[in-house]
Amino acid sequence: MEMFGQNVFNQAVMKERLPKAVFKTLKKTIDEGLPLDPSIADVVATVMKDWAVERGATHFTHWFQPMTGITAEKHDSFLSPSDGGALMEFSGKELIKGEPDASSFPSGGLRATFEARGYTAWDCTSPAFLKEDGDVVTLCIPTAFCSYTGEALDKKTPLLRSMEALSTQAVRVLRLFGNTTATRVTSTVGAEQEYFLVDKEYYLQRPDLIMAGRTLFGTMSTKGQELEDHYFGTIKDRVLNYMKEVNEELWKLGVTAKTQHNEVAPGQFELAPIFENTNIATDHNQMIMDILKRVAIRHDLVCLLHEKPFAGVNGSGKHNNWSMSSNDGQNLLDPGHTPHENAQFLTFLMAVIKAVDTYAGLLRSSCANAGNDHRLGANEAPPAIISVFLGEQLADILDQIVKGGAKTSTTGGEMKIGVSTLPALPKDTTDRNRTSPFAFTGNKFEFRMLGSSFSISGPNIVINTIIADALKEIADKLEKSKNLNADLPKLLQEIAKKHQRVVFNGNNYSDEWVKEAKKRGLLNIPNTPEALKQLVTKEAVKLFKDHGVFNEKELHSRYEIMVEQYVKVINIEALTMIDMAKKSIIPAALEYATTLATSINAVTAVSAKLNVSAQTELLEELSTALASANKNVKALEKALDAALKIDDAEKQAVAFREKVFAKMLELRADGDALERIIAADHWPLPTYGEMLFIL
């Protein structure tokens, strides 16, 4: 209890240390989203600095989330010269605004490097915190990062905008149900994080893990995950000690690390925090990924956040549990008990269904990257088809709504929207479907498509905005209604009829579903270059513009960056493969070939009658695989050259997928064939067996 939040400049600390009036003003901004009053900045800065310096901080940094998907920081000391000595100072100006230059971050054409002005602006809705690494303590101030012209250069600003949009529309809908108390609705997220651990010794011997975060070669070990003995198994001491330190670091930062367990694949684990407001959950997920990696090193481990570090066993994802709650204390996706509450719940539920169906392509695009291409649709993660799981009970209610089963009645001036035909809903529908990409789980939706390395910002920007849009359409219609009790069920029926196709309660991993989804007209987008196109459709541009989340330029810049990133990732992987093949795998094969040839000669020299068929057969197999590897290295080099010459970014991404990546698969097959032939002491790389099972 003492440890929790000790490194966070949270509201309790502010209340204790700030003058009363200043605290009240700041709290209004934090809780109610009112504009920040700049006149309080100097006081807050000084108090924040004193608090940080008492805890050993010498530097501060504006901590921001550029479009790389990770976090960025540039440290400045509090040092200020004074009469030949020095003072520790921190001004309101320094707190509110930073000018980190930062011209080397991807901006997707939003600013030219010659006018490299990027600004960071204090986001007081997310608390400042201390980053401790050994003796080094740094005050981190969460900020938004934007260009001189006000365009968002980061993943934070649009997330905050999308939360605003959702709040505005959700409050309108709450008003329809007679709610006069709620003034804000906030989306909430709990992000479950999966990861792998490998021993540092092995990691350092694998150029592919170092450069690409995943194994580009490697034949499957004799045992995989088939015994299902790792999932929820006893956590080994070494890992448990690691987890303990991760938890403590996170608790100090006010991150509610709650659940931990072994995951399905050997060497794979999960950490889940308790849900929070989406912007804080996003910051905290970044901290979780950072701490997972940093603490691992202290235990001579390396934490892999890649979506698919090892072929042949499960990859890692991130489950994004999402709901929305009002500031009068309701979870709007909680079914509740009374019919009246049910009507409100059903309206929000239908908004989600409508949003997911209408913008399935956008949701898909928000989970697209080179790493996640190995998972989506590969029988371990949700397929590339977006559908919604409701559970038996809600699916049945949806059926009733489609058939017009919801009746309305008014008594004594009190609004009572008749869902009397519907059963009261229990708080938590316990049935679960693990294969659905967007599953209702009692009082929230779980979006399961995210990759483990993702910033959760992108997917949540999409979720918030598309649901804001659906709620807006509902509010636009019903605010005009003269008879809500009659018009609401009609509208819900209309929505249900139109969007029921996206609801699927069966096994999403089955081939039948792929066929069925096609019949229903649902999108099935298999890879990143295709999926990303969904981000910049006419509909998407309009959606984000209407809700003030991205202007067209901002949206296109993101698209460009993501297409580019895809190309860069595959390029790095291809180059690493070529390098490994040429510098270690082929040389190892040549050496072993020599060993075999030497053996044949040596044995035959003793007596020509001796049987050397084993050596000869092995040498034949080896030579075939070796020749193929050599041929495919050349072919990969050629494919890479050709792809790199393509000017058009979109076409280039397709070439990387269809030509370069395809060749990489062939080269991998050769490398893995060689691994199966070559003797252990001649093989230059740690094996899957070592990396996955020896922790």
Is 342 or 527 the residue whose CB approaches ligand ADP more closely?
A: 342
Collect all residues with Cβ–Cβ distance below 8 Å to 362 and sequence separation of at least 6. Answer: 462, 466, 534, 535, 540, 543
- Give the closest residue to 661 by CA, choosing from 360, 274, 216, 327: 216
CA distance 179 to 175: 5
- Give the closest residue to 77 by CA, choosing from 86, 66, 88: 88
Nearest approach in angstroms of CB 188 to ligand ADP is 4
Q: Give the helix/strand (H/E) hosting 121.
A: strand 118-122
Nearest approach in angstroms of CB 450 to ligand ADP is 13
Among 108-116, 313-321, 376-384, 403-411, the segment contacting Mg ion (CB under 5 A): 313-321
Q: Contacting ligand ADP (CB under 6 A), which of 49, 111, 319, 533? A: 319
Is 270 or 469 the residue whose CB approaches ligand ADP more closely?
A: 270
Among 59-67, 273-281, 522-530, 674-682, the segment contacting ligand ADP (CB under 6 A): 273-281
Is 9 or 389 the residue whose CB approaches ligand ADP more closely?
A: 389
Q: C-alpha angle with apex 363: 358 to 364, nearest 5 degrees? A: 115
**Strand bridging mode 136-147 / 128-133:** antiparallel
Residue window 664-683: x/- pattern of binding to Mg ion, with contact defined by CB under 5 A: --------------------
Q: Does 322 bind ligand ADP (CB under 6 A)?
A: yes
Residues 189-208 that bind Mg ion (CB under 5 A): 192
Cα–Cα distances (Å) from 226 to 214, 223, 230, in that order, read 21, 7, 9
Among 186-194, 340-348, 478-486, 685-693, the segment contacting ligand ADP (CB under 6 A): 186-194
Nearest approach in angstroms of CB 456 to ligand ADP is 12
CA distance 544 to 560: 17
Is 6 or 331 the residue whose CB approaches ligand ADP more closely?
A: 331
**Backbone phi and psi for residue 121, each to the nearest 5 degrees, phi listed first:** -125, 130
- The three-class DSSP label of residue 660 is helix
Q: Which residue has the tokens 């460009």?
A: 560
Among 57-65, 183-191, 340-348, 600-608, the segment contacting ligand ADP (CB under 6 A): 183-191
Taking the mean position of all CA atoms in its chain, how far away is CA 158? 16
CB 360 within 8 A of CB 523: yes
Helices (H), 581-661: 586-606, 613-644, 649-655
Residue window 319-338: x/- pattern of binding to Mg ion, with contact defined by CB under 5 A: x-------------------
Q: Which one of Mg ion, ligand ADP, none is in contact with 190 (Cβ closer than 5 to 8 A by kind)?
A: ligand ADP
Residue window 271-310: x/- pattern of binding to Mg ion, with contact defined by CB under 5 A: ----------------------------------------
Q: Does 438 bind ligand ADP (CB under 6 A)?
A: no
Where would I find the beta strands (DSSP E) of 385-540?
388-389, 409-411, 414-416, 438-440, 445-451
Q: Which one of Mg ion, ligand ADP, none is in contact with 251 (Cβ closer than 5 to 8 A by kind)?
A: none
Q: Which one of Mg ion, ligand ADP, none is in contact with 331 (Cβ closer than 5 to 8 A by kind)?
A: ligand ADP
Is 131 or 319 the residue whose CB approaches Mg ion more closely?
A: 319
Nearest approach in angstroms of CB 125 to ligand ADP is 17
CA dihedral of 326, 330, 333, 337, whole degrees rounded to 10: -150
Q: Which residue has the tokens 């928000």?
A: 366
Q: Contacting ligand ADP (CB under 6 A), which of 94, 123, 154, 192? A: 192
**Strand bridging mode 57-63 / 136-147:** parallel
Among 29-37, 238-246, 315-323, 489-497, the segment contacting ligand ADP (CB under 6 A): 315-323
**Backbone phi and psi for residue 609, each to the nearest 5 degrees, phi listed first:** -80, -15
CA distance 365 to 353: 18
How many residues of this chain interact with Mg ion, rule: CB under 5 A?
2
CA distance 195 to 309: 10
Q: Give the helix/strand (H/E) hosting 141.
A: strand 136-147
Among 80-88, 228-236, 316-324, 348-356, the segment contacting ligand ADP (CB under 6 A): 316-324
Q: Does 274 bind ligand ADP (CB under 6 A)?
A: yes
Q: Does 131 bind ligand ADP (CB under 6 A)?
A: no
Nearest approach in angstroms of CB 381 to Mg ion is 12
DSSP codes of every residue in 57-76 = EEEEEEEB-BTTSS-B--EE
Is 173 or 332 the residue whose CB approaches ligand ADP more closely?
A: 332
| Residue whose C-beta lies closest to ligand ADP | 190
Is 319 or 663 the residue whose CB approaches Mg ion more closely?
A: 319
Nearest approach in angstroms of CB 44 to ligand ADP is 30
Cα–Cα distances (Å) from 288 to 66, 539, 565, in that order, read 17, 35, 23
Longest CA pairwise span in the chain (Å): 109
List the helix and strand counts (H, then E) for the chain. 23, 20
Q: Does 188 bind ligand ADP (CB under 6 A)?
A: yes
Q: Which one of ligand ADP, Mg ion, none is in contact with 274 (Cβ closer than 5 to 8 A by kind)?
A: ligand ADP
CA distance 473 to 491: 10
Is 429 or 551 the residue whose CB approaches ligand ADP more closely?
A: 429
Is 120 or 453 the residue whose CB approaches Mg ion more closely?
A: 453
Cα–Cα distances (Å) from 7 to 48, 66, 278, 611, in that order, read 12, 24, 21, 72
- Give the closest residue to 614 by CA, choosing from 624, 603, 629: 603
Is 192 or 373 the residue whose CB approaches Mg ion more closely?
A: 192
Nearest approach in angstroms of CB 362 to ligand ADP is 20
Among 36-44, 173-181, 266-274, 292-300, the segment contacting ligand ADP (CB under 6 A): 266-274
Q: Contacting ligand ADP (CB under 6 A), which of 215, 323, 387, 508? A: 323
Q: Contacting ligand ADP (CB under 6 A), which of 444, 657, 659, 663? A: 444
Q: Contacting ligand ADP (CB under 6 A), which of 190, 309, 458, 489? A: 190
Among 81-89, 145-153, 267-275, 481-489, the segment contacting ligand ADP (CB under 6 A): 267-275
Is 57 or 332 the residue whose CB approaches ligand ADP more closely?
A: 332
Q: How many CA atoms lie within 13 A of 204 on its CB side?
A: 6
Q: Contacting ligand ADP (CB under 6 A), which of 6, 10, 103, 331? A: 331
Collect all residues with Cβ–Cβ distance below 8 Å to 122 and sequence separation of at least 6. Answer: 36, 41, 62, 95, 96, 97, 141, 142, 143
Residue window 233-262: x/- pattern of binding to ligand ADP, with contact defined by CB under 6 A: --------------------------x---
Q: Does 272 bind ligand ADP (CB under 6 A)?
A: yes
Tell me which residues touch Mg ion (CB under 5 A): 192, 319
Tell me which residues touch ligand ADP (CB under 6 A): 188-190, 192, 259, 272-275, 319, 321-323, 331, 443-444, 446
